[in-house]
Structure 1
Amino acid sequence: MSDKEQGRMPLLPEQAAILGKCAQAFCHAVKVKFNCKAILSNVKENGSFGNNTRGVLCAEKRYSTKLPSGVEVSVWKDDLTHHNVEAVVNAANEKLNHGGGLAQALCVAGGPMIQKWSDDIIQQYGRVKTGHAVLTPAGLLPCKYIIHAVGPKLSQNPSQKEVDRAAPLLNETVNSILQIVLHQNITSVAIPALSSGLFNFPRDRCADIIVKAIKQCREFGGFQGRSLKIHLVNNDEPTVREMERATRAISDPTSTSASYSGAVKDRNQSMTSSSNDSSRFGNIREKGFEKEMKIRKGEAKSPELCNDVTRFASASKGSAANEVPTILFNSNSAEALTEAKAWVLNMLKQSDNMTIKNNHVIYFDQRDHENLHFLQNKFQVHINEFFKYGKGGITITGNPSDVSCAAIEVESMFCKAQELFAGAEECEMLYSVVRWSCKDVPWIQTPENSAVLEKAYLAGLENRVFNNHRFNFKSLTVIDNTGQVSPMRRTCLMTPFMSLNNSFYARTSVTRNDYIGKEARKAFNVCGLHFVKVEKLENIVLKQLFETNMQRLKDKPKRLYQRVSAQFCDLICRVGFQKEFSPPAEQRYGSGIYFSSTVDGAMKLWKDQENEQYIYIIQAQVLTGKSMTLSPHLSLPPTLSKDHFDSLSDLRETYVIFSGQQALPEYLIICPRSSHV
């Protein structure tokens, strides 16, 4: 049985109806919690099921042709807010005020942050001229970027002269889109019939101009052998027909073509963000990007997290109308796939009460609370936030199916909040050990922007383009939009370091014998646990911070254990231990980061992960320093005592620290729940 077949999960009609109402939130949550890609097949947005032709989760590919350069141009009938590409194009106005048409639809689906990022661009750079385009993240959309392109606006019944005068501007708009695609090394882009809707450009002429601009880019050598997919996507039949006509008429005679009826293949996309290619279409028109990605104090990760989510169905041409709705999970981890399936069953159970425990509820902002109010009204449920004794979350009560819908939406909100929190921690952490600087470009000297450059550098990219500047890591220079070249510098504040598998952290599977020693074997045998998988956790940034703290405390680290939930394993490897990630069932010694000196002690501290299929134990080196002894009935953090203490202890096996930089994760040990005695 193939991995793909092992990841298939059929749905009952009532389960498909639930997922049809919250498909985007569901796929986002599965991606973030389990690093799985969820593909919903034969599920419609309105909650019914069947082989739909216009449902949100089904895309219809009408025509495809491959240009001699290798670029594939295809025509689709689909909703652009759900289309599976790396970047979608928004038909924007000069003020980037997304109040109607496609722009409004993208903002509704992608969240209010899209309008905020757009407003920030206007505030910093002014209006976007007709014919130009700018780039922002895609928020909660199932893609990575939105290219906001401003096409010409015509009167309601334009004359031929007015259309002829506007045609060059539409051509320029398409060229601007292609510039951004090429310079950002975007692998797939969806372009609608720009200016043909609210801007009144005739759809037949619009289709001709868009397709011709693509062909001219190929003829002028703009694509340069790129592996690029250009989707011409619209959801109304007349425009789709015009796009197909124009593409067929102008396609190369040697190209191949085929017609489809809702046939879509899943694919993995390479999400790199640099390009050495030049274009004959002029300078890149790209304003504010990573700067616009900042939310709260950290870099928003949501765009990256949502990018790999495949949200529409795959239905063959001759499939039956009553085909069973299905979820297909794609994952490199059998354990993650198992956890994802179990989580789905738990979320779809028929219950009028559901509690989601997650301490990131304390980071919900005003927009999050407004969204909770919206969900409460939309699904006619009661939503209650709680935070007591160091444990937080949300309880939802109401009609069982509505409770499930609201719970999935809330899980997606938690995923977004924890990624924002982790993104902020990641930026601050990187900024503590390495900084990028340039005298002529002072704005890169912030934790957020310096982290963007450092991650690109560690990934081995030669160039990184953002905020209208090109950063060359080979020559260590910055080129602004006027062509001025300035030197930049990478300063390691501690020990110089290079990349670890194109990143600053890595999880590597090791054999049982590579990990287990006499002490470790004894620690797990006491609990009757055996290993399914062992992963070595490495983080070069955390290691430097840990070693600095070890010198400061003059302390020898202890080998301690923490039990965690499946969804926080990667985050701990990435940003270290945080009190929000794994609070124990009972926080007797204050709000800190808890560890146990034994695996058995860890199993006793963390008892409330009953819905997970595996037991996840992280072995860490922990600096406890000078430890303050507390009785079970006294909870005082070290900062409130007369003397300075670095940790708390119960003199038996529990330790509590209050800085994640005092702990270094070493191994993740995954055990089957059934082995626990």
Structure 2
Amino acid sequence: VWVRGALRFSKTPNGGEKLLAAASSHKCLIQLEDVAAESEREEVVARYFLKQGVQVIVYLGDITKQEADALVNAANEDLRHSGGVALALSKAAGPEVQRESSDLVRRDGKVATGDAVMTSGGKLKCKKLLHAVGPEKDKAGGRERELQVVQGDIIHEKTDVIVNSTGFKSEPAGVSKAILTAAGPPVQAELFNGQKHKFIYIHSGLLGCKEIVHVQTDQEAQATNKTCKKVLKLCESKGFTSAAFPAINTGTNFKKVEVDPNSVEYQDIAKGFHKTAKYKIHKIERVQNYHLWSGYFVMRRKMEMKNSAAELGEKYLYHGTSAESCHCIERDRFDRNYTGAHGASYGAGVYFAINASYSANSRYAKPDPAGLKRMYVARVLTGHHTLGDSSMKSPPQRGDDPSDKYDSLVDNLQSPSMYVIFHDDQAYPEYLITFI
């Protein structure tokens, strides 16, 4: 029996003695508890005794405050703790747990359904966290409907349908232009030569989806909701399980965003930098340029068709530069005309280093008046490479076909420390690290 005010009564004159007398006469235990703490008290829902003599207790409470040797987290195969209880545990544990999880996946690959992996408990009141991956709903016979708001590039999404909002009468801009550029000329021609209906269904072109649905833009929220519902019904009728919609008002072609130092994204970039470069990071910025990304994406698809997906050689590499060159690189890609500071020892192209320490050299990452240096972390398509030399204006051909050339040059075939590319769209300046 819970009696409110018992703790307060026990502190009155003779209150404690009266409670002891009551407990003695009724042969019971009186437990005093603060009312403020009562709301946080765990409630035992059920108890079970297994054959082995183990007792299982079901509590109703906050698992992030639970004291135990180990807590179990219902995780996904990527160990991205981005929603539900997994997100709550990750937030309470601190960034260390997500960092350990990402390292596990990077080292050993995705966690198979039915398996579990272990990390530290971080700031939780446990020694270890067990991340168990259960079956997906659609594979278990159920129907799953999920809405996710994702920050990223829609043209790079692996989905059944990509939705493109267009005005039909005007030239495409922003996200719409990026989608059409990445899809390729055949899709552009099919869209603008066809009849202008509210919905137009077109094949995906060079994009990694099955179909593109072009819908006429309407600024009214009610009309937009109806359009979204129609697209989702279309997906269901065709058996599609996923669709990517562009966010409203995402027509900005260029944006530079400072990355949160507490985020996993920041920690991953900083970790790669600090493997070889022992400098203090001032800030990390993400470069978002739809035109440059579209060019890179198209080049990626071309190389994928030429070399196969396994031989893309897509890598994160480093490129030191001056503050003056940043504006040009972020808006008009890595151009050989203003990256000549790296010399031409292995060919007259754009140079990228495997180790950040090389690009951090003041010869390349020139300090500004405040002593700050700058370095890009770029996505680079290295593909098939061969040994370069100073006389090369472009990569040599690989075989008898003069049109089939190597994709990049290196300084050492057995153990490259740098890559040289000759096509501007082979690299995308994804992050800018400012350091001292």
* TM-score of the aligned structures, taking structure 2 as reference length: 0.39
Q: Which has the larger radius of gyration?
A: 2
The TM-score, its normalising length taken from structure 1, stands at 0.26
Which is bigger in relative contact order (C-alpha 8 A, separation at least 6)?
1
